[in-house]
């Protein structure tokens, strides 16, 4: 197949690029490098099956030749980016999704939208299943990302219904692993870099808020199964192992062998108190379950961070 991955030089996009190239497909990686890094895909430079295009998908997209799959992963996704890059996040969720769906229509390609558990906002149900409509503050700091993805889901389903585009929507829960940015702003890279440096590890709020954490290879497998399925409606992909933020910080301090102490700071605006996927649909429709335990995934991620800093 010939596959376009937007945001292909980002954390998740680059792992998908690896997977499709390993399967023998041709991959076009499109990224404007706002938060992506060429280092994430540089191993493929010189591979005739790989092409990198530095481009902003909010502009008109032209790709010569056929496309079988389009996977739309272009967007800053870290809370650290929400205030700094808010307008660009909204534009890539709206204009970027519109442009990539238009390309899918022109090419007759199967389309996958990278959506997010953030569509559930600060949820009032636990765990969160795909039929929950969410509790989102549209004018808060996080609203730029939450609403961009909710709008993108609506547009994807509209193209599915009105133009008969074969679409998929994956709602990605907290994912971690090699190639995360050290300045990502999310809990795991923050905790690892602070602990490795022997600094205080910063936990926001009282540390009782929870997240589920899924290793990136499990996510890639779930996305691959979703692309091969016939499921057009959103599917949660995440690991239903729940950590409090304090417990996650303690675990990372232990695994890094650090003497860091935990310090607590004010909880950011609209920060979700709980986040846990109901993966019943993924199990039933895709036969997918996560296989990487947090203990293994966290150790592998820490080793990668150590190699980056060395």
Please give the radius of gyration of the chain, using alpha carbons only, rounded to the nearest integer: 19
State how far Cα 38 lies from the chain centre: 18
SS percent in the chain: helix, strand, coil, step 5? 40, 20, 40
Question: CA-CA-CA-CA torsion for 13, 15, 21, 25, nearest 10 degrees?
Answer: -40
The two tokens of residue 246 are 């304090």
Please give the C-alpha separations between residue 235 and each of 67, 166, 176, 304, in angstroms, as whole numbers. Answer: 24, 15, 19, 29
Q: What angle do CA 80, 272, 130 make, to 5 degrees?
A: 110
Instruction: Note every long-range contact of 92-96, with CB atoms under 8 Å and residues 24 or more positions apart, other chains counting.
Output: 92/57, 92/58, 92/148, 93/145, 93/147, 93/148, 93/149, 93/151, 93/152, 94/148, 94/151, 94/152, 94/155, 95/58, 96/6, 96/57, 96/58, 96/72
Out of 69, 120, 145, 176, pick the active-site residue.
Answer: 145
Residue with tokens 């569509």: 119
145 among known catalytic residues: yes
**Nearest-5° Cα angle at 151, 278 to 137:** 70
**Which residue's entry shows tokens 């008109």?**
60
What is the DSSP secondary-structure string of 154-209? HHHHHHHHHH---EEEEEE--EE-TT--TT--SHHHHHHHHHHTTPPEEEETTS--
Looking at the annotation, which residues are catalytic? 145
């Amino acid at each position: 197949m010939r596959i376009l991955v937007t945001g292909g030089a980002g954390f998740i996009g680059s792992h998908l690029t690896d997977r499709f190239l390993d399967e023998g497909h041709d991959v076009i990686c499109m990224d404007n490098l706002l938060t992506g890094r060429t280092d994430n895909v540089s191993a493929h430079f010189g591979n005739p099956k790989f092409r990198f295009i530095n481009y902003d998908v909010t502009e008109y997209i032209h790709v010569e030749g056929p496309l079988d799959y389009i996977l739309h992963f272009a967007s800053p996704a870290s809370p650290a980016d929400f205030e700094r890059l808010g307008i660009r996040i909204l534009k890539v969720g709206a204009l970027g999704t519109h442009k990539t769906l238009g390309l899918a229509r022109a090419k007759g390609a199967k389309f996958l939208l990278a959506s997010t558990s953030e569509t559930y906002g600060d949820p009032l149900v636990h765990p969160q299943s795909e039929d929950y409509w969410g509790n989102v503050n549209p004018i808060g700091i996080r609203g730029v990302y939450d609403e961009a993805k909710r709008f993108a889901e609506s547009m994807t389903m509209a193209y599915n219904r009105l133009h008969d585009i074969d679409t998929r929507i994956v709602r990605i829960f907290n994912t971690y692993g090699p190639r995360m940015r050290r300045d990502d702003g999310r809990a795991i890279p923050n905790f690892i870099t602070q602990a490795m440096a022997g600094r205080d590890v910063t936990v926001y709020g009282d540390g009782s808020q929870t997240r589920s954490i899924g290793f990136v290879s499990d996510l890639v497998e779930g996305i691959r199964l979703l692309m091969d399925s016939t499921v057009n409606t959103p599917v949660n992909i995440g690991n239903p192992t729940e950590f409090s933020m304090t417990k996650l910080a303690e675990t990372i301090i232990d695994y890094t062998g650090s003497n860091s102490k935990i310090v607590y700071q004010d909880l950011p605006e609209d920060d979700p108190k709980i986040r846990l996927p109901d993966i019943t649909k993924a199990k039933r429709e895709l036969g997918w379950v996560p296989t990487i335990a947090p203990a293994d995934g966290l150790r592998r991620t820490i080793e990668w961070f150590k190699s980056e800093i060395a």
